[in-house]
Amino acid sequence: MEAKSYKDTVNLPKTKFDMRANAVKREPELQQFWADREIYDRLSENNPGDLFVLHDGPPYANGQLHIGHALNKILKDFINRYQILRGKKVRYVPGWDCHGLPIELKVLQNMKSDDRLNLTPIELRRKASAFAQQTMEQQRESFQRYGVWGDWKHPYLTLKPEYEAAQIGVFGQMVLKGYIYRGFKPVHWSPSSKTALAEAELEYPEGHTSRSIYVGFHVKKLSKSLQTKLKRYMPSLWAAIWTTTPWTIPANLAIAVNPELTYAVVEPPANSHIAQQFMLVAVDAVDRLSATFNTELKILATFKGKELEGCIYKHPLFDRESPIVAGGDYITADSGTGLVHTAPGHGQEDFIVGKRCGLPVLTPVDENGNFTAEAGQFAGLNVLGNGNAAVIDALAEANCLIKEESYAHSYPYDWRTKKPTIFRATEQWFASVEGFRDEALKAIADVNWIPAQGENRITAMVGDRSDWCISRQRTWGVPIPVFYDEETNEPLLNEETIAHVQGIFAERGSDAWWELSIDELLPESYRNNGRTYRKGTDTMDVWFDSGSSWAAVAKGRSELNYPADIYLEGSDQHRGWFQSSLLTSVATNGVAPYKTVLTHGFVLDEKGRKMSKSEGNVVDPAVVIKEYGADVLRLWVSSVDYSADVPLGKNILKQQSDVYRKIRNTAKFLLGNLHDFDPAKDAVACEELPELDRYMLHRMGEVFAEVQDAFESFQFSRFFQTVQNFCTVDLSNFYLDIAKDRLYISATDTRRRRSCQTVIAIAVENLARAIAPVLCHMAEDIWQYLPYPTPYKSVFEAGWVQIDASWHNPELAARWQYLRQVRGEVNKVLEKARIEKAIGSSLEAKVLLYVPDVEKREQLQALNPSSEELVDYVRSQNSVIELAAEEKAKAAQDRQEEQAAKVAKVLTENTVYVEAETIAEKGDRSSKIVEYSAPELSASDSGPILDRAAEFVANLPEYAGNFFTEYQQALVTLGLLASVLVTGRVTLAILDTMNQIPVLGGLFEVIGILFTIWFAFRHLLFAANRQEIAEQIDFLIADVVGRSTALVLAETKAIVLAPALDTALVLVETQPIAQTAPAEKVFVETPQIPQAELVAIEPKPEIPAEIAAGHDSTMTGNGVDELRYLFITSEVELVESNAIMQELPYSYQSPELAIGVVKADGEKCDRCWNYSTHVGESIEHPLICERCVSAVDGKF
């Protein structure tokens, strides 16, 4: 009879969706798919929702991208992709900041020194422009590889003519409103760059140490209010000051005090190292100064600071006298002496105080940071080097140096050259923030700041900031469009001149400022008016460039909007782009250029340290993508709390890769189990789904609502946690773990399976939609491998997650949440039993439950239908069964008689019918059956050995033929072993002979090794092969020695054995069983049975197919909402008492619940691996359980 196979009845997952992302190849393919179909362009144009604009802060086009760039651009892409999925018309225009010193320096560094000397401004600008655009192209390619969507074909560059013209327009409006002026005042000056710097162009590295000094200024004249009180201390009275910039002492023009502080005259001991007999200091600083000077300072007199105003002192190094003046709240007793050295040419507060007091602005330092002739003996010395030391030495020589010490503090450095800056008064162009400060503060309050502390930060900065120095003494930038009268040096800057220059820039770009003549740049009305003009040489601060982007892009492009919906940059941009954009927008339009501002922190290494090449802890995004793909990098961005500084390193990336694989593996399982599902034809209505499936829909509603809220509130780490938990806990560890039984075992088109597939289809589609903003490549990959047709070619065309309000069912959710808790406790007990090898898998277990609470017990009982329901139903159909049994018994008897005739020489009257055992193991249980006749043996046969030997010899050819047929593989294997031994011996002899020929000897040695490896791999390595050989040998031995050890599976389930001393082997044709693995034979020892006890055991009647198949409700509840499936065990029994649990080695007890685990009853089903007492009841399918019998017939 032809063998029967069950392997095709099991519905295993099928999908071409690869578990391995193969991101290096697959991600660019998906990006090309988006580009070819213009997915972004079409959706941004045709989506039905409102316009959404995230305005891009331009990165600097001067080098390779770092991990901070990746963090920034990927965060932006999360927002844009989410808004696209929500149906918005998303317009994202990437931009680049292309002007400024860093690019200029890059160009100069790549040139020879002689070429640099001969370089004209226009040549330098052209080289800088080419460098910036080349860098932009490289960065654009990298950003696109991150998976970032945008209008990459039409980015904005600050060097483009239309941009520069818009920037001049913003400048012109500020001029007309009176906010732009030229003034001589201190600015941050970079000697290394030879230009003024804005606050945003500074950085404050750790580890800076200055030489700080305490200096005595000799008081020459007292104020009127102190002449009486302090007269006794004259002429030995000194004003003590402290400074961290000794080089500014030559520019000192005043000493400032806080009018509200209390000051004192103090006296050091006579034997002190301090030369000054009496000193003026703040009272609250006396104790600290005593410790600093390492001497006791005695207070002799006290008075308010305002009384010091009007005192006159002499400069310690120059023959000039200066006043003590009232300063401001910046003067405290917390540091220094409470008296502040004031040089109006070298400090903001100093300048303000000096201006109020009518002091001149002295700046004896040139653009290189060297002292000028105004510094007298120090002329030519560098203020940050030998000039600083020379001043200290001169003070010591003049006996005015009280103390010197090193002082570690925050100090401004040029962000480009990484070298210290100085304050230096120069002629510059400024934007008067004071003129619109209140408007700016009001605009700040109208913006949504995320995180909220960003509002406090920028409010404080704008509230306290000084006027904005917008001019730079460099070539590569947008020129300030000002002309100067050659005779008066007065600037020419008005609406007409600005508009004329703006028109030229719009057509030719800002290079025209250097290419065209004065007459061409001036409006016609100024060309022949009798005056001579020259062009200004200053360019604008690059923060004015980028700060005008709202005008050039958001407002300037018709497809965008102003104010933009959102700005997103690093937290350092509160003093940079956020602020410059705010100031220019408020100054010209009275509103902020953004509605929402989102800030992120910086990327640190895994130990929280700043990344640096010297430390070797830099993470290059290009390297990350090459190893892991862009999606893993994007997943990391979603996992961190970006509002603070975020860590990244190899271990973190490995963890993210593991999470990525888990999500992908979940998607692969979902897709694999939909290979034969079409929602249009096979979906089950929500109200018809089992409870478990309806609970999962409710849970999906909760999960995807949480994901949506995470994106709406920009809390992407909540997305990460929610999706990870959903895939791992809700799906993999719970729903899909339970669902495998009905997905694999149930008949293809049964309601039990289709309902699960309905939920899985909803899950995989919504999972793809939900992860699309973050894991954009994986989401698209999932969508492309959906095994059924959808109306959408891309997941992004499909839109956001689809949640039906009817899924919401809190009552059902509460019930199943309790069941999941019970399941969790059951799993702990099962796991303990598994660890201690009491069971192999949970299917080998029977779970005992005791629940004292009546309501909860009834809830559990409702999900635990009796396993005997099918049997009861069968018994109710006795007449049908008896008829079937009689017919089956008669057919069995007929076959038995026919078989008996074939082996008449073997069978005697000592025949017993023994029911064959069934072994429920995974794999093929079919056997190749042949007829074999052995010598006639009986219990009473005691003939001479010689006669029996002769008979054996006579029949030897027949025996040999039958042996070879039955044990062919075993004989071949034994022969192969012998051949190997012989071949090996011969080979060794040959090799020994040929040992003198190295090449041939080595060749044969290699062949011998390879053959040995092959033989071990083929026949000895795997346990199954070793067992097969052993069993075949056992068969052969058993047959030769006449052991009665054979299990023969007969269609009638009746086996004929001869229980004499030498029992014969009877082989009859068996009913084929699942052919999913190599054939196996199982031997059992058959005891000798006395003739008087021989009894025929009748075969069990087969249950009719229509009864065995049954219906879901008849056999096992609805086949889904049951405890046995929930726990993934073969049986669950609710017991009346927890007493039995106390005797079990594997149990759990609490006041609310008791759990016990024992071995499952029955035999193991060869198809589903569950244990059942009904395995073997089907004559047609003797090795599978009642569920699988029904499933094979398409009814379960």
- What span, in angstroms and rounded, lies between the C-alpha atoms of 865 and 1122? 7
How far is residue 326 from each of residues 266, 329, 386, 1103, measured CA to CA in Å? 21, 10, 33, 110
Q: Which two tokens stand for residue 426?
A: 């120069």
* Tokens 């510094």 found at: 375
- What span, in angstroms and rounded, lies between the C-alpha atoms of 582 and 223? 47
The reply, when asked if residue 311 is annotated as ligand binding, is: no
DSSP code of 37? T
* Tokens 């000077």 found at: 293
The reply, when asked if residue 25 is annotated as ligand binding, is: no
The reply, when asked if residue 1168 is annotated as ligand binding, is: yes
Looking at the chain, the number of H-run helices and the number of E-run strands are 41, 38
Which 3 state secondary structure label does DSSP give 535? strand
Give kind and range of the element (H or E) at residue 1148: strand 1147-1149
Phi, psi of 940 (to 5 degrees): -95, -5
Residue type, 843: L
- As a dihedral over the C-alpha atoms of residue 213, residue 217, residue 223, residue 228, rounded to 10 degrees, the angle is 100
For residues 338 and 281, the answer to whether their CB atoms sit within 8 Å is yes
- What span, in angstroms and rounded, lies between the C-alpha atoms of 512 and 133? 19
Q: Which residues pair with 414 in a beta bridge?
A: 202
Q: Where are the beta strands (DSSP E) in 865-1013?
A: 912-915
Number of other CB atoms surrounding residue 419 within 10 Å: 13
Q: Which two tokens stand for residue 804?
A: 């039906």
The reply, when asked if residue 569 is annotated as ligand binding, is: yes
- What span, in angstroms and rounded, lies between the C-alpha atoms of 633 and 657? 9
The two beta strands, 539-540 and 471-472, are antiparallel
The reply, when asked if residue 727 is annotated as ligand binding, is: no
DSSP code of 1017? I
Number of other CB atoms surrounding residue 224 within 10 Å: 10
The reply, when asked if residue 1185 is annotated as ligand binding, is: yes
Q: Which two tokens stand for residue 190?
A: 């970079």
Q: Which two tokens stand for residue 833?
A: 């039993």
- What span, in angstroms and rounded, lies between the C-alpha atoms of 933 and 958? 9
For residues 716 and 78, the answer to whether their CB atoms sit within 8 Å is yes
For residues 447 and 574, the answer to whether their CB atoms sit within 8 Å is no
Taking the alpha carbons of 1074, 1075, 1081, 1082 in that order, is the dihedral positive or negative?
A: negative
- What span, in angstroms and rounded, lies between the C-alpha atoms of 776 and 631? 7
What is the CA 1171 to chain-centroid distance, rounded? 43
Rg, Å, the chain Cα set: 46
Residue whose C-alpha is closest to residue 830's, from 847, 806, 805: 847
Q: Which residues pair with 431 in a beta bridge?
A: 180, 468
For residues 619 and 67, the answer to whether their CB atoms sit within 8 Å is yes
Q: End-to-end CA distance of the chain, in Å?
A: 27
- What span, in angstroms and rounded, lies between the C-alpha atoms of 368 and 190? 8
- What span, in angstroms and rounded, lies between the C-alpha atoms of 498 and 1128? 80
* Tokens 């040995």 found at: 1012
* Tokens 């200055």 found at: 210
- What span, in angstroms and rounded, lies between the C-alpha atoms of 751 and 684? 8
- What span, in angstroms and rounded, lies between the C-alpha atoms of 961 and 945? 24
Number of other CB atoms surrounding residue 695 within 10 Å: 24
- What span, in angstroms and rounded, lies between the C-alpha atoms of 84 and 107? 41
Sequence ranges of the binding site for ATP: 613
- Binding site for Zn(2+): what residues are annotated? 1165, 1168, 1185, 1188
Residues belonging to the binding site for L-isoleucyl-5'-AMP are: 569
- Residues annotated in a binding site: 569, 613, 1165, 1168, 1185, 1188
